[in-house]
Structure 1
Amino acid sequence: MNREFESALMASYPAIYRSLEPRFSGGCLFECDDGWYRIIDALSRKLEVESWRSHLVAIEVRETLGSLRFRLRGEVTDAVDNWLTEAARLSQRTCERCGQPATLRGHEDGRVRTLCPTCATAMGYVVE
């Protein structure tokens, strides 16, 4: 994710992201493309409120197999679990790069990503 979006999320939701660190030296805090920014922002808004109550913190935000994955530390209530599930489902229909409607696409090297037809073509992913 670009640094401007990362900075906006970190500034807007300081409680939930207070422990978030890059997994790799020089890496991104949010390991996904910009197309999922709105999904992450909406989820973060809910998690921020919960974080103040239960000391919940995000320890990883990334793309895995074409889906958004949040790893949290703290008490994950049923409501939080439902929010995470819904965000993952929404990410599976939203282009990782541009935010347009999308589907899971495969690449000849075995990678999979959720991409719209335009982004899939530009990146060499299978477009059906």
Structure 2
Amino acid sequence: MNRELENGIVTSYPALYRSLEPRYSGACLFECDDGWYQIIDELSRKLETQARKSDLQVVCVKEKLGSLRVYLRGPATGRVQDWVATAEGLSRNTCERCTQAAMLRRHKDGGGIRTLCPACAAAMDYVIE
């Protein structure tokens, strides 16, 4: 995710992201493209309320196997787990690059899997069924 969007999320939800660090030097805090920004922002808005009441923290946000993954530390109630599952489910139907309706696609070289709309898939050499 671009740095401006990352900074906006971290600034808007300080309790939730108080200990979020890049996994390695020079990496982004949010290891996904900008298309999932709205999903992450909405989830963060809900989780921030819980983080202010407890030790709940987000320790990693990334794309894995074409889906958003959000890793938490601290008390994750059933409600919190439901919010995370809903966000992860939305990511499976939202283009990671541009927010359009999307589906899982495999790269033409047989490599990575990402959730992309037809236009983004074509631009990135992913298979379009």
Regarding TM over 0.5, the answer is yes
User: Which amino acid counterpart does residue 110 of structure 2 have in structure 1?
Assistant: D
- TM-score calculated relative to the size of structure 2: 0.98
Alignment of 1:25-40 (within 5 A): 25-40=25-40
Q: Distance in 2 between matches of 1:52 and 1:104?
A: 35
Residue number in structure 2 paired with 1:48: 48
Residue number in structure 1 paired with 2:16: 16
- TM-score calculated relative to the size of structure 1: 0.98
Q: Distance in 2 between matches of 1:120 and 1:44?
A: 28
User: Which amino acid counterpart does residue 10 of structure 2 have in structure 1?
Assistant: M
Residue number in structure 2 paired with 1:112: 113
Q: Kindly report structure 1 stretches of 4+ aligned residues shifted beyond 3 Å.
A: none
Residue number in structure 1 paired with 2:63: 63
Q: Aligned-residue CA RMSD in angstroms? A: 0.6
Shift of 1:54: 1.5
User: Which amino acid counterpart does residue 25 of structure 1 have in structure 2?
Assistant: S
User: Which amino acid counterpart does residue 69 of structure 2 have in structure 1?
Assistant: R
User: Which amino acid counterpart does residue 127 of structure 1 have in structure 2?
Assistant: I
Q: Distance in 2 between matches of 1:120 and 1:28?
A: 22
How many residue pairs match? The answer is 128
Shift of 1:55: 1.4
Superposed CA offset, 1:20-69 (max 9, x none): 00001010000000000000000000000000112100000000000000
Q: Distance in 1 between matches of 2:37 and 2:19?
A: 19
Q: Which runs of 5+ in 2 are unaligned?
A: none
**In structure 2, the residue corresponding to 1:71 is in which secondary structure?**
strand
User: Which amino acid counterpart does residue 121 of structure 1 have in structure 2?
Assistant: A
Residue number in structure 2 paired with 1:103: 103
Q: Distance in 2 between matches of 1:115 and 1:37?
A: 14
Q: Distance in 1 between matches of 2:100 and 2:110?
A: 24
Shift of 1:110: 2.2
User: Which amino acid counterpart does residue 78 of structure 1 have in structure 2?
Assistant: G
